[in-house]
C-alpha cells in the first residue's frame, strides 16, 4: 500500500527534515508513527499524501508514484485514494454535519443519490446520524472527530491518514476515537497514524516506528492492537518501555491508560450508538 525508498526532504541548507527513509506498509495494516515535534512526522505525512515532494527517493501509494505527480494530479490522487483526519477536525463551521461529510463526494463528482446514501450510511455507523442537521460548534470534541472520520471515509479511500486524531480530546473522547480506529482497521482499512502518544500507538497499531531527526530509529511489531492493549493494561512491556529502554530513561506514559470502548464522546452517561460496523467500508 505504501512504499518509500530512500525518501529525503530538504528545505534549506540545514539538516534534512526527512533523511533517507525506507518504509513499507501493507494493505490492511495500521502503522503508528511516533516522534517529538521536529522529528519529521508531518513531512512524512505530507509526502505520502502528495502534499509535498521528496528531494530524492521515491514515494508509492496504492500503486501510484506520488512523487511524480503534479499539483492537479496530486489533488485527484487524494480525492480518490486518501482520507485525512486532523487533530483540530478542520470542519467547516458554516456547514451542517451532513454537508461537511458530503464535501468530498461533491469534489469527486459522485452522484447525489449515491452521496446521500453513503453519508447516511456513515453517520449511522458512527453513531452521529442524530446530529446530521447540527453545526459542528454544537458538538463535543469526540463527536466532531467522528464527523471528520465520516468525511474522510466518504469516497472509500484506500488509505486513512490520521494526524494526532486524539490530541485535542479529553481522555474519554480519545478512548472512543481509539476504539473507532481499531474497528476501522479490523474491517480492513489501512491506517497511518501520526501521534506523540505511545499508549495510542501501542493499543491501536500493528507496528510502530519512531522518527528522530528525520530518520527511523525504531520499528516495532506490536502484534494486533487488542493484544498490545491487553499487554499495556496488564502492565507488561509495551512500546513505551521499548522507547524508554532505547533512550536509557524511564518509560514514557501518556495522559490516560488504555481502556475498553467508552460511551459517546464527551457526553457523560450517554452511550454511543453506532450502526452496523461493516457500513464504514
Give 33 or 238, the one with higher predicted confidence.
Answer: 33
Among 58, 111, 51, residue whose Cα is nearest residue 86: 51
Mark 228-252 as b/e (b = at least 16 C-beta within 10 Å). Answer: bbebbeeeeebbbbbbbeeeeeeeb
Query: What pLDDT is recorded for position 196?
Result: 86
Burial grade of 70 (CB within 10 A; 0-12, 13-18, 19 or more):
exposed
In 10-72, DSSP assigns E strands to 18-25, 30-34, 56-61, 64-65
Quote the percentage of the chain above a pLDDT of 70. Answer: 79
C-alpha grid cell for residue 241? 518501555
Query: What pLDDT is recorded for position 272?
Result: 39
Average pLDDT over residues 92-99: 97
- Quick check: 190 and 207 in contact, CB under 8 A? no
Question: What value does the mean pLDDT of the chain take?
Answer: 83
Query: What pLDDT is recorded for position 213?
Result: 95
Please state which of the ranges 5-14, 37-46, 187-196, 260-269 shows the lowest mean pLDDT.
Answer: 260-269
Assign 247 a pLDDT band (cuts: 50, 70, 90). Answer: very low
Assign 222 a pLDDT band (cuts: 50, 70, 90). Answer: confident
CA dist 12 and 26 (Å) reads 33
116-173 per-position pLDDT tens digit: 999 999 999 899 999 999 999 999 999 999 999 999 999 999 999 999 999 888 888 8
Please determine, looking at this structure, whether the domain spanning 2-264 carries the CATH number 3.40.50.300: yes
- Quick check: 264 and 226 in contact, CB under 8 A? no
Among 184, 214, 182, residue whose Cα is nearest residue 200: 182
64-65 and 56-61 as β-strands: parallel, antiparallel, unpaired? antiparallel
Average pLDDT over residues 182-188: 93
Give 101 or 167, the one with higher predicted confidence.
Answer: 101
CA dist 186 and 40 (Å) reads 28
Domain boundaries, the chain: 2-264
Among 31, 27, 84, 2, residue whose Cα is nearest residue 207: 31
Amino acid at each position: 500500500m505504501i512504499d518509500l525508498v530512500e525518501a529525503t526532504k530538504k528545505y534549506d541548507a540545514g539538516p534534512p527534515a526527512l533523511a533517507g527513509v525506507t518504509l513499507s506498509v501493507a494493505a490492511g495494516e495500521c502503522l503508528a508513527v511516533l516522534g517529538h515535534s521536529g522529528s519529521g512526522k508531518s513531512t512524512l505525512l505530507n509526502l505520502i499524501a502528495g502534499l509535498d515532494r521528496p528531494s530524492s527517493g521515491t514515494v508509492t501509494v496504492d500503486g501510484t508514484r506520488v512523487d511524480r505527480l503534479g499539483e492537479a494530479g496530486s489533488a485527484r490522487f487524494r480525492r480518490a485514494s486518501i482520507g485525512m483526519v486532523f487533530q483540530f477536525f478542520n470542519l467547516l463551521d458554516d456547514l451542517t454535519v451532513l454537508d461537511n461529510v458530503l464535501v468530498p463526494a461533491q469534489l469527486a463528482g459522485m452522484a447525489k443519490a449515491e452521496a446521500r446514501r453513503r453519508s447516511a450510511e456513515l453517520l449511522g455507523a458512527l453513531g452521529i446520524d442524530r446530529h446530521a442537521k447540527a453545526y459542528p460548534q454544537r458538538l463535543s470534541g469526540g463527536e466532531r472527530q467522528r464527523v471528520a472520520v465520516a468525511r474522510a471515509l466518504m469516497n472509500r479511500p484506500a488509505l486513512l491518514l490520521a494526524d494526532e486524531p486524539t490530541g485535542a480530546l479529553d481522555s474519554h473522547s480519545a478512548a472512543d476515537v481509539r476504539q473507532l480506529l481499531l474497528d476501522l482497521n479490523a474491517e480492513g482499512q489501512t491506517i497511518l497514524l501520526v501521534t506523540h502518544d505511545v499508549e495510542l500507538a501501542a493499543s491501536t497499531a500493528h507496528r510502530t516506528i519512531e522518527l528522530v531527526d528525520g530518520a527511523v530509529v525504531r520499528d516495532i511489531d506490536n502484534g494486533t492492537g487488542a493484544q498490545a492493549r491487553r499487554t499495556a493494561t496488564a502492565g507488561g512491556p509495551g512500546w513505551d518501555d521499548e522507547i524508554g529502554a532505547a533512550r536509557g530513561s524511564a518509560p514514557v506514559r501518556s495522559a490516560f491508560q488504555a481502556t475498553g470502548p467508552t460511551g459517546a464522546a464527551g457526553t457523560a452517561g450517554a452511550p454511543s450508538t453506532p450502526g452496523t460496523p461493516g457500513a464504514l467500508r
